Amino acid sequence: MAYPFLTPVNTVLNVAAGGTATIQVDPTGTFYGLRPYYTRTGVAATPAEIASDIKQVRVYLDSNTQWELTGAQLQAINKAHGINPSDGEIPLWFTEPWRTTEAAEDLKAWGMLGISQFSVEIDIDAAATNPGLTCLQYKTPNPAQLGEIRKFKRQTVQVSGTGDLVIPNLTRNERQLALHCNTTNISNIKVKVAEIEQLNMSPTRLHSIAAEQGYIPQTGWTHIAFDHRNRILESLDPFILQQNGTFPPRAPLAWDVTLNMSVAANFVMVKELMGPRD
């Protein structure tokens, strides 16, 4: 692996309270991540200020959204993976430095061959005080193809009553790393793939087991982490490999998540996925 550079992104536009800042990245080389740096009146913003001011972060490749989540959601997921940034830092990791081997850490770097547009949009709250934004790019100049990448998609889960709730609209054609639910009203989790039970336990027990392996569950969240041992091959895969190691030419298997809800209150689910770019 070549030593990755840490150099400024030259084009950061429209940084203003109530606006959408745009980071325009040169799509060359291979990216390990981006490092937006957010200030208030020239001083590095605290994590609480970032959570308050950064209303949404979106990452685009060829104008298609690959990441979409709020500043607070990004902080919670980073911290669950053991990433606890300093003031001002908004790390966007495309590789996964928390994995248990060097190869797995860097496996999912974003190669830019065939990519013509790469940008990040950051929505800044109207009440933000004199916001400032710069960005570093963490990359090598080596060209590479873009393979599977880590992605984030959000959905609001409607909860009309207590008891079992089958989550609708789950992604069927990508590997599932985790479902991050911004609620503590879940008393039990069941996961089935092709009607075979894969998981059945309380969030408390799941968090306890995950914490043994270095996962750090966040207050106010329920993390359904399929890769909680930080082994990339332990993600929930809706496909079954053939004996020769290839995917069969068919649709992915159906899979379902059933949550037992103790309170009827809607919540946001952030889906952490691995798959081809959208």
Whole-number pLDDT of residue 143: 87
Structure tokens at 50: 């970032």
What value does the mean pLDDT take over residues 62-87?
Answer: 94
| pTM, 2 dp | 0.88
Please tell me what DSSP assigns to residue 259.
E
What value does the mean pLDDT take over residues 146-175?
Answer: 89
Tell me which of 228 and 80 has the higher pLDDT.
80
Residue with tokens 């001011």: 53
On whether the CB atoms of residues 165 and 267 are closer than 8 A, the answer is no
DSSP-derived 3-state class of residue 243: coil
Class of domain 151-275: mainly beta
Query: In the chain, what is the straight-line distance between the N-terminal and C-terminal CA atoms, in Å?
Result: 27
> Could you tell me the residue ranges of all domains in the chain?
5-146, 151-275
Same fold yes or no, 5-146 and 151-275: yes
Class of domain 5-146: mainly beta
Across the chain, mean pLDDT equals 88
Task: Kindly give, in sequence order, each residue whose CB lies less than 8 Å from that of residue 106, ignoring residues fewer than 6 positions away.
Answer: 1, 32, 95
Round to whole Å and give the CA distance between 274 and 235.
Answer: 9
